[in-house]
Amino acid sequence: MAKLLVANGCSFTRGEELPHPEAQAWPTRLADRLGVPCVNLARNASSNRRIVRSTVMRLEAVRREHGLRPEDMVVVIAWTQTARHEYHSAIEPVPQEGPPDHPVDAGWHRVGPWLLGRGHKPTKAFYDMMWSEEGQLVNFFVDWTLLHGHLTAHGYDARYAFAFPITDPIPAHAKPLMDALDADRVWGGLPTPPERSFVNMPPRFARGPGGHPLEAGHAWFADGLADWIAPR
């Protein structure tokens, strides 16, 4: 039985626009359902690359801090938009998106569609010269495969869900990579139905001015994950 929940993701996982995200965001609600404490590694505007990187860099320290074995922990990753990315610069100041980053994120800059309207030159260069939907999805599945291999090799109970759905249909070059993943570890299986993604929560649940789910939406997502991870 798990003794600690570790979650990682973007602003949907951190609980942006909630009055008290540390108590109301879905990772805390899920942990309450599982009867364990929670460590939330999510940060606003995270890319999937940032989620993978920060999980690998921080998980061992979290394990030691709690005095647990890997098999005592369940790790839940909520994937974000595949169009996001990141890059590192030791000299360019990192704009703050939400609460302060952890030291493992020092120097790492977000790349995302919302930055195009701000005239962010590295983001424009990325989308103009490097980005394609198929290429980014291939990168995503490669990153996912590497993360899952790392987590399972070290004995962690790794689970996956989606804050944002992935493209449908899956491009031909990406499908073999997706099919090689362990679909049993994904809430809703693979390919995941769009309605299982947090951004597509039922319309009866309110959103904040920025479009983020509020308390009832977080409870819906947490309950769904809890019934999947630890059926009643």
Q: What pLDDT is stored for residue 98 in this prediction?
A: 75
Neighbours of 205 (CB within 10 A): 15
Q: Position 211: which residue type?
A: G
Query: How many domains does the chain fold into?
Result: 1
Q: What pLDDT is stored for residue 109 in this prediction?
A: 93
Say which CATH number the domain at 14 has. 3.40.50.1110
Burial of 9 from C-beta contacts in 10 A (0-12 / 13-18 / 19+): buried
183: which DSSP letter?
G
Q: CA torsion, points 48, 52, 58, 60, in degrees to nearest 10?
A: 150
Q: Write the DSSP string, 101-159.
A: PPGGGTTEEEE-GGGGGGT-HHHHHHHHHT--HHHHHHHHHHHHHHHHHHHHHTT-EEE
Q: What pLDDT is stored for residue 54 in this prediction?
A: 97
67: left (phi over 0), alpha (psi -120 to 50) or beta: left
Burial of 207 from C-beta contacts in 10 A (0-12 / 13-18 / 19+): middle
* Structural domain boundaries enclosing 84: 4-229
Q: What pLDDT is stored for residue 231 in this prediction?
A: 77
The answer to whether the bond into 191 is cis (omega within 30° of 0) is yes
Count the helix, strand and coil residues of the chain and give each as a percent rounded to the nearest 5.
45, 15, 40
Q: What is the pLDDT along the chain (232 residues), one digit of tens a residue?
A: 789 999 999 999 999 999 999 999 999 999 999 999 999 999 999 999 999 999 999 999 999 999 999 999 999 999 999 999 999 998 888 877 778 888 999 999 999 999 999 999 999 999 999 999 999 999 999 999 999 999 999 999 999 999 999 988 899 999 999 999 999 999 999 999 999 999 999 999 999 999 999 999 999 999 999 999 987 5
Burial of 216 from C-beta contacts in 10 A (0-12 / 13-18 / 19+): middle
Q: What pLDDT is stored for residue 232 in this prediction?
A: 58
